[in-house]
Amino acid sequence: MIENKIKILRKAAEVSTVQDSNYIWCVIAGNEDMINNVAYSAIMDKKRVKVLCREHINTKESFVTKKFDFIMLHGETSKIRELSMICKENGGAYLKIAPYYVKDEPNLILTVGPENSIKKFVGNCEKNNIKLSFLIEDHTTGFIETDVYITNMLPRFIRNIIDPLFKMADVALSTVLLSSEDEELPKIKELARSNKIFLIEFNKILKED
């Protein structure tokens, strides 16, 4: 882990000396309404930015279903900056992926999920001695939608009292960009599945693009 942290610091120093590219990738995650606003702005300005993918995710933990959306974009730096402002003003998580990472990292892996699930995933990777480089990370400051499906068995008047309390639960969402070697990918994917977090191999998105 110490070696990974040193690697990150070195890369950060190198990135700071490189001028911003005209085109960059970004990932934005948060509640559905915020992602709808980002997607709308991107679609209305499709000459400057392209939507690479969008996903709506439901994860169940105990009696709670957590719902969130994320979108991946590629476009002009100025437009991406504009979309990032929509994200941050609405409490979303935002990662700017510079060409430096795409060029120099062997396998970029994007993970998205509730913060506690991401932490558990990272801990499991550490326990299994999986070699990872943690590149960039962000988390939401706003709420994501939650449903408590055990309340479906309760009388309506009780549900009307309880549901709003759970829907306003402060569930943080994390997005983390990782890098690893080819031989580690199967183990990383398995741990992501077991911890119910969403994982994207960034290189595959680039090939499709």
The confidence band for 44, taking pLDDT boundaries of 50, 70 and 90, is very high
Q: Rounded to two decimals, what is the model's pTM?
A: 0.74
- What's the token pair of residue 204? 């595959």
Percent of the chain with pLDDT over 90: 39
Average pLDDT value for residue range 130-144: 82
Please answer whether residues 95 and 175 qualify as being in contact, where contact means their C-beta atoms are separated by less than 8 angstroms: yes
User: Which residues on adjacent β-strands are paired with residue 29?
Assistant: 70, 93
- What's the token pair of residue 85? 């402002």
CA-angle at 141, arms to 119 and 20, nearest 5°: 85
Q: Is it true that domain 2-208 has CATH number 3.90.1140.10?
A: no
Give the C-alpha separation, 54 to 26, whole Å: 12
Query: What pLDDT does residue 105 have?
Result: 84
**Smallest Cα–Cα separation from 176: which of 123, 129, 127, 128?**
123
- What's the token pair of residue 57? 């995710």
Residue predicted with more confidence, 206 or 105: 105
Please answer whether residues 91 and 151 qualify as being in contact, where contact means their C-beta atoms are separated by less than 8 angstroms: no
Q: What is the mean pLDDT of the chain?
A: 79
* Residue ranges of E strands in the chain: 23-30, 49-61, 64-76, 93-97, 108-114, 133-139, 145-148, 173-179, 198-201
Q: Is the pLDDT of residue 144 over 60?
A: no
Residue 25 main-chain phi, psi, to 5 deg: -100, 155
**Smallest Cα–Cα separation from 134: which of 100, 102, 108?**
108
Q: What residue has token string 């690697």? A: 7
